[in-house]
Structure 1
Amino acid sequence: MTSRPALSRGRRLPALLLGLVLLGLAALAAPAGAVECARQEHDGNAYAVCTVDPAAETLRLFLNDADGDPIGHFSTLDAALRAQNRELVFAMNAGMYHADRDPVGHYVENGTELMRVIPTPGPGNFGLLPNGILCIDGDSARVFETRDYLERRPGCRFATQSGPMLVIDGKLHPRFLPDSTSRYIRNGVGTTAEGDRVVFVMSENPVTFHEFARFFRDALQLPQALFLDGNVSRLYAPQLGRNDIGRRMGPIVAVTAPAS
């Protein structure tokens, strides 16, 4: 067997320098604290998963523009941000809304409550108690079951209510059926107990509530998770080539950054 001749030090050096240059360019291209998005599979279903560190990234909610009109689309939000020398990094629809795009449940933006908490049962997925609230406050974000939220009264700079809860203290919503035949593209959000990691998920094929909730509990191992929608589920995630379009949305949850 013949051995490959060893490269001389002089030949190794340019390759090393090239590698360092490429690493440097990659570091410049990737914004600090960038959202991490990837595709995952679980029990035969595919999911788009985006993880956010709320302490390192600007995570917030958007509803209306400066004139009070619903923003509605990712492209409209990105254009408004660029006028402020910022850009959209990640976004997802963030809760159910009425025909005029006003939130169905509790909504807080920049510390101002625009819609009160709805604690009572009602029709549709939103009223399938227990439902819950995503609370974003400074460098942390947590999903609270609605009754727990009302007891704790956490100080949320941003909050959006939706339902049903998917995972409550590590347990699946009691109304979810393993043999359900109701399948939709669904999106939701889960958080760690400490609120230091927020994970947004959209199924890439129709799934049941039971399958969707088990993904948060078993695959992501998150103790709290909240359903956001299943009729309108859209994602802006450039890492995954996603910039979904469709009907105007209500609340939008997004990560923004200084324009590059």
Structure 2
Amino acid sequence: MNAGMYDLKGRPIGLYVEDGRKGHRLNRREGDGNFHLLPNGVFWQDAAGFHVATTDSFAATAPTGIRYATQSGPMLVINGALHPRIAPDGPSRKIRNGVGVTTAGLPVFVISDDKVSFGKLARLFRDRLDCPNALFLDGFVSSLWDAASGRFDQDVPLGPMIVVSERVSGPDTR
């Protein structure tokens, strides 16, 4: 699944960490577009687990030992409340994707099959998926490859990606 905003060359415009290596720094600049609909946020994994928080909260706590991270925006759900600038069911409808972390600490990735509003996606995370914090990842170019279901969205080139796979171990694993 695509995982955050990127520039014309496919590079992340916000924090990006892969295998503990920082590929791009935290972006706290103001600007236009969804990324800058503040508060935006960060999804990351460290030794304690998975997290979603606003960019300001992330910067204030300065987590260490980050394995993976992506910054995007806007936040959809912030401490159980919908983003203050997201209408309950606004007029903008797009295929959208996002990530939240449940109260049990499990990451939940969502991509819509049909065009939805920010508000509908936010309420799904909060009301149905038990995610007190959730982050919008992308809209117009939201894409997913899911071999099990046969879904392979390939409309446009993408930037940051999140890949979830089954870990295989054993003597023949390389």
TM normalised by structure 2 equals 0.89
Greater strand share, 1 or 2? Answer: 1
Pairing of 1:1-260 with structure 2 (within 5 A): 92-138=1-47, 140-155=49-64, 156-193=66-103, 196-256=105-165, 257-258=167-168
Structure 1 letter corresponding to 2:77? V
The higher radius of gyration belongs to: 1
How far, CA to CA, are the matches of 1:150 and 1:254 in structure 2?
25
How far, CA to CA, are the matches of 1:115 and 1:239 in structure 2?
32
How far, CA to CA, are the matches of 2:142 and 2:62 in structure 1?
29
SS of the residue corresponding to residue 99 of structure 2 reads strand
Counterpart contact for 1:193–1:224, Cα < 8 Å: no
Q: Cα offset for 1:188?
A: 0.3
Structure 1 letter corresponding to 2:3? A
SS of the residue corresponding to residue 126 of structure 1 reads helix
How far, CA to CA, are the matches of 2:89 and 2:102 in structure 1?
28
Cα 1:234/1:179, change in 2 over 3 Å: closer
**Structure 1: 5+ residue stretches without partners:** 1-91
SS of the residue corresponding to residue 124 of structure 2 reads helix
TM normalised by structure 1 equals 0.61
How far, CA to CA, are the matches of 2:98 and 2:63 in structure 1?
21
How far, CA to CA, are the matches of 2:76 and 2:7 in structure 1?
22
How far, CA to CA, are the matches of 1:168 and 1:229 in structure 2?
18
Counterpart contact for 2:103–2:130, Cα < 8 Å: no
**Structure 2: 5+ residue stretches without partners:** none
Task: Tell me which stretches of 4 or more aligned residues in structure 1 moved more than 6 Å.
Answer: none
Greater helix share, 1 or 2? Answer: 1
SS of the residue corresponding to residue 119 of structure 2 reads helix
Q: How many residues align?
A: 167
Structure 1 letter corresponding to 2:32? P
SS of the residue corresponding to residue 137 of structure 2 reads strand
Q: Cα offset for 1:193?
A: 4.2
1:30-68 alpha-carbon deviations (Å, 9 max, x no partner) = xxxxxxxxxxxxxxxxxxxxxxxxxxxxxxxxxxxxxxx
Q: Percent identity of the aligned residues?
A: 49
Match of 1:34 in 2: none
